[in-house]
Amino acid sequence: MSGRTGSTSPTLTAGPRHGAGHVGGHLTGPAPAAGVGPPARPTPEDARARFFAPDPARVTADLSVRLGSLLLDSPVMPASGCFGPELEGLLPMDRLGAVVTKTVFSAQRGGNAAHRLSETGMGMINSVGIPSPGVPGFLRDVLPRYHATGRPVVVSVGGLRPEEYAEVAEELGDAEYAALEINVSCPNLEHGGTEIGADPEAVARITREVRHRAGGRPVWVKLAPMVASVTEVARAAHRAGAEALVVANSYPGMVVDPGTGRPVLGNTVGGVSGPAVKPLSLRLAWLVAQAVPVPVIGCGGVSTAQDALDYLRVGAAAVQVGTATFARPQAMAEIVRELDDRCAGAGVAKLPELVRPGGDHEDATTPTRHPGRSADDRPSRGNG
């Protein structure tokens, strides 16, 4: 199945009375009368404009990637829960390889209590709780809006018990989508709330059951990061038929209000994401890419083209962008554009030629095996 389809401007807000304005965060004086004073400065060009403007002279590189049976136009897509179709007007959608929906559960659910999100030093922490309209509401109100973006749609499915994942896949029925992404970071309410993704056997069982109900369409598994052995879970998902693995979800964390001494989040704990987690997820992607022969999709701290290249150079085939989109809705388009520019600057026509680190690496998509490291989750023992 082919997946092919073919800085914001200053804000103007209400200011103090007496004709004063508040432009771009700076208080101005009283507004001058018409025809009085210096001419108005031209409005700075919206940073997004260059991504929409056609450039007939531009020669673009081939950024396409194959993820199992899916061929995507580029290796960049949003992470689940970090992009909605309402953002379509803020970036050219044809730059994305796919769109990934928010996680859908079988029944309607409202999510966690406020506060649900807080900034951290190098990213953010969230405890949204994955509100969901349920499968009927998703099919009626949400999925058509994702289809309207013109991009292949990957549906993220969740479950609060292992059986719910298969139920969601079955309830989706013959709905049109490119792939399913299984979010195994959900708590297992049948086993005291432990993370489903921590149990390789449970991940394998869920993957098999979802595949049987996916109508032959690809199934991806989004791995949880804080497990005893991410490679063991990855191998279990691969053996059960996963066509790609997303590495990884957010990291458990907590923030405290310095004034009250109480947790900031309504749910007390949440998931940490953003630039701070990139070295952690990069390592996990490297480990998984060595452990299984299926495509890895890097996720965690991707906000620039260099971040994307870092993941590709340790063995990932594509990346997902999450937290960066909150501050820069056009971040994914910026990444794709810069990857294209870098290909042009390097004089290469295809992305794998740019990914190649150089030197003696014979295959740009083969992760480097470093001396003294084994393809498991722990440093191998040395001689010292």
Which distant-in-sequence residues (6+ apart) come within 8 Å of 131 by Cβ?
109, 110, 111
Is 2 marked within a binding site? Answer: no
Is 273 marked within a binding site? Answer: no
H helix or E strand, kind and range, residue 27 = strand 26-30
| Closest to 357 (Cα-Cα) out of 313, 318, 319 | 313
Is 297 marked within a binding site? Answer: no
Is 81 marked within a binding site? Answer: no
Which distant-in-sequence residues (6+ apart) come within 8 Å of 33 by Cβ?
none
Q: Is the peptide bond before 248 cis (omega within 30 degrees of 0)?
A: yes
Is 222 marked within a binding site? Answer: yes
Rounded to whole angstroms, the Cα distance separating 133 from 107 reads 7
Is 103 marked within a binding site? Answer: yes
Is 35 marked within a binding site? Answer: no
Is 274 marked within a binding site? Answer: yes
Strand partners, 321: 78
- Identity of the residue numbered 166: A
| Closest to 330 (Cα-Cα) out of 91, 30, 20 | 91
Rounded to whole angstroms, the Cα distance separating 179 from 286 reads 23
Is 130 marked within a binding site? Answer: yes
Reading the block at residue 241, the tokens are 């038929």
Which distant-in-sequence residues (6+ apart) come within 8 Å of 371 by Cβ?
none
Q: Is the peptide bond before 115 cis (omega within 30 degrees of 0)?
A: yes
Is 298 marked within a binding site? Answer: no
Q: Helix H segments across 183-302?
A: 200-212, 230-239, 278-291
Question: Does residue 343 have an active-site annotation?
Answer: no
Is 182 marked within a binding site? Answer: no
Angle between helices 200-212 and 162-172 in degrees, nearest 10: 20
Reading the block at residue 62, the tokens are 């081939």
Is 322 marked within a binding site? Answer: yes
Is 112 marked within a binding site? Answer: no
Reading the block at residue 160, the tokens are 């609060």
Chain position carrying tokens 């292992």: 162
Is 267 marked within a binding site? Answer: no
Is 304 marked within a binding site? Answer: no
Q: Given the residues 82, 186, 299, 343, select the one marked as catalytic.
A: 186
Reading the block at residue 85, the tokens are 């179709």
Positions marked active-site: 186
Annotated binding-site residues for FMN read 80, 102-103, 183, 222, 274, 300-301, 322-323
Annotated binding-site residues for substrate read 102, 126-130, 183, 249-250
Annotated binding-site residues read 80, 102-103, 126-130, 183, 222, 249-250, 274, 300-301, 322-323
